[in-house]
Structure 1
Amino acid sequence: MTIRNVGRSLEGVKDLFDISVHTGEKPYKCNKCGKSFSASSNLKVPQRIHTCEKPYECKECGKAFHTASYLVIYERIHTGEKTFMCQECWKAFSYSYQLTIHYGVHSGEKSYECKECGKTFALCGRLTRHQTTHSCKKRFECNKCGKTFTCIASLKKHQSIHTGEKHYECKECGKSFHLASTLVTHDRIHTGKKSYQRKERGEAFGETSCES
């Protein structure tokens, strides 16, 4: 076959692909699960899933993936790269879906509803934590004040209030807090959310916090 004929053949394949995209035709079928695709290249991913083939490996930890795109996303865990930024509070996220969920905090939209009591939440994680109040008994009790919790981690976090431990430190100024949520509120001082001045020190604050 001449170079010219090879070129024509390749153009023919491209034309077939372009046509299938517009017509919705999916001539490439996976012989394992029956799922069909418009391009033969798209068939490779599900075939790797069936055969457990993971050719894309993370150089940092050795974890492997079916596709190069999954590896690129995963590597952000090691690099700390956060490319998706909220335009409301400038908080950054590694993944676009995290940013989408986060926007619900600002919009007031609460699309996650508890089927037990009807209470709604902006974040799926908060709904999950809330649901434990229905499904679990509060078995962990604070020996200082008697308050009970559903998990040991929550109890330990609470006990730091009694012991005076402050595990959450601001990277900007070094100030420490009992709770992560208090640190988040404090961080707004440095990000530019400043709504009033405290006269005695001349420091600008966005929100007051219960703890220091």
Structure 2
Amino acid sequence: MEGQSTVHSAEKPYMCSLCGRGFSRSSGLSRHKRSHSGEKSWKCGDCGKGFYYPSDLEIHRRSHTGERPFTCSQCGKGFTQLSNQLKHQRGHTDEKPFQCPDCEKCYKSSSELMYHQRVHTDERPFRCSHCGTGFKHSPALTKHQRTHTGERPFTCSKCGRGFTQSSSLLRHQRVHSDERPFQCPDCGKCCKSSGNLMSHQRVHTDERPFRCSYCGAGFKHSSDLTKHQRTHSGERPTPSVERDSLSHLNG
């Protein structure tokens, strides 16, 4: 009965010695500690991916088998996890039952609330084993670690170029096509990436967010600032840098 009372109350007596996060059960603390140690002893027989717990492995294997045992009663969409089904069903409603005690902003899932609260606490529980840099979310750590390992798991099917992020691959693939899905609301010009659109919109707003540390002059693009700063340093640009400085003009 003692174990049950801590689950239903706000009491979290089991504290992680590494990051200070509290848990209502010792099993929750044990599970959490593996995120710091990197131990993933449960391996997928299909792809070799490792997991901290057998339950996580079971959920992952559904990505290979296609099994989706949890179905939305509203639209019939299937899910590999019950938590994903419940989170999805809130998309059919405006229910946001998880409220931040600091700013009262509400969220549809407890995980979204937990991520948000790190804005207030600046907690960075995910540490890079190579350089010690901390991150608020595990996906950010995964992306960062590729700067150390050189891993580029997302490959372009057209040219074979590899990327550290799927978003970078999608952006690159537009080079091989004329797809320009980002349209300027002011003039209708279409761009291949949101970054190029944002850069273009400064034509309309005259925003100059890049400031010279020498003289305070403002520029619309970082490449223009880099070129300008050479008037102070006397450094001559390389041909590749000059090409990069023109890239924002091509959308």
Q: Structure 2-normalised TM-score?
A: 0.43
Select the structure of larger CA radius of gyration: 1
Q: Structure 1-normalised TM-score?
A: 0.50
